[in-house]
Amino acid sequence: MLEKRLVPHGRRAGAPLGRVAWLRAVAISFAIGGVMVGGIAATAVASGATAAPPGSTAAPSAPATTTTTSTAPASDDVPPPGTVATTTTTTTTTTTTTTVPPAPPAPAPPVATPVSAPAPAPAPPPPAPTVPALPARGEATAYGCAAALAYLTAYSAPGFTFECPGYALGHEAMTCINEPGACPGESLIAIADPCAHAYMNEASNSWVLTGQSSAPIDPYGAC
C-alpha cells in the first residue's frame, strides 16, 4: 500500500518519487557537471595559448580531454529478487534407418542327370559249322549236312538243288528229276541221313540220270 508523504519545494503531494525517477535525476546531474568541467578546461587552455609572448615557442600542450559520464536508467524488466531464470533447450534427434536387402536365395543344387547303363552287347552269333577240307571224289569220310552240301556242290551234275536234311521217301538219300509227287519241275538231291556213302552215291547218280555217266547206281554202298 502506498503512503502519502510531504513533498518539499511546493511539490504536490501524491504518488511518491519513484526509484527510476531518482536514478534519472542523478544521471542528468552528472552529465551537466561533466559538461561544465569540460568547458572550464577548454577556456583555460585557450587563455594560456593567447598569453604566450611573441617570438616564443609554445610548448605542445596535451590534447583536451572531455569526459562525459552518463548513467543508464535501470530497466523496468529486471526480474525481482529471488526469481530464477529458466532456459529451455530442445534437442532434436534424427534417426536414420538402414534397410539391409535380403540375401539372395541359395542356388538350387544341380540336378543329376540319370545315366542309363549301356545296353548289353549282343551275344555273338553261333560259330559257323566247321567245313572239313574238301576231299577227293569218292574219298569223303565226314558226317553231317555241312560236309554233304560241300561235296554235292563240288561233285554233282550241274542244275541240281540240294536239301539236307531233306525228305527222301524213306531212303537215306535220293536223286529226283521232275518226278510227279516228289520233285515236279525240278532236279533235286535230298539227303535224309548225311553219311559219307549216302551223299557220295547221290553225287554220282546225278551224272548217271542225266546221261553223262555210265557208273552203277549207288556205287559206294549203304551207310
Q: Using H for helix, E for strand and C for coil, what is the string for the chain? A: CCCCCCCCCCCCCCCCCCHHHHHHHHHHHHHHHHHHHHHHHHHHHHHHHHHCCCCCCCCCCCCCCCCCCCCCCCCCCCCCCCCCCCCCCCCCCCCCCCCCCCCCCCCCCCCCCCCCCCCCCCCCCCCCCCCCCCCCCCCCCCCCHHHHHHHHHHHCCCCCEEECCCCCCCCCEEEEEEECCCEEEEEEEEECCCCHHHHHHHHHHHHHHCCCCCCCCCCCCCC
Arithmetic mean of pLDDT, 159-186? 93
Residues 3, 189: Cα–Cα separation, whole Å: 177
Q: Is 70 exceeded by the pLDDT of residue 201? A: yes
Specify the pLDDT at position 218: 95
Residues 49, 47: Cα–Cα separation, whole Å: 5
Residues 219, 206: Cα–Cα separation, whole Å: 12
Q: Cell numbers at residue 198, please?
A: 549216302
The answer, as to whether pTM is greater than 0.75, is no
Of 60-64, 128-132, 166-170, 211-215, the least confident: 60-64
Q: Is 80 exceeded by the pLDDT of residue 211? A: yes
Q: Answer whether 172's CB lies under 8 Å from 193's CB.
A: yes
Q: Is 60 exceeded by the pLDDT of residue 43? A: no
Arithmetic mean of pLDDT, 1-11? 42
Query: What's the mean per-residue pLDDT of the chain?
Result: 72
Q: Is 60 exceeded by the pLDDT of residue 6? A: no
Of 49-53, 59-63, 150-154, 184-188, the least confident: 49-53
Specify the pLDDT at position 117: 76
Q: Is 70 exceeded by the pLDDT of residue 179? A: yes
Arithmetic mean of pLDDT, 143-165? 96
Specify the pLDDT at position 198: 96
Task: Give percent of the chain with pLDDT exceeding 90.
Answer: 39
Q: Is 50 exceeded by the pLDDT of residue 11? A: no
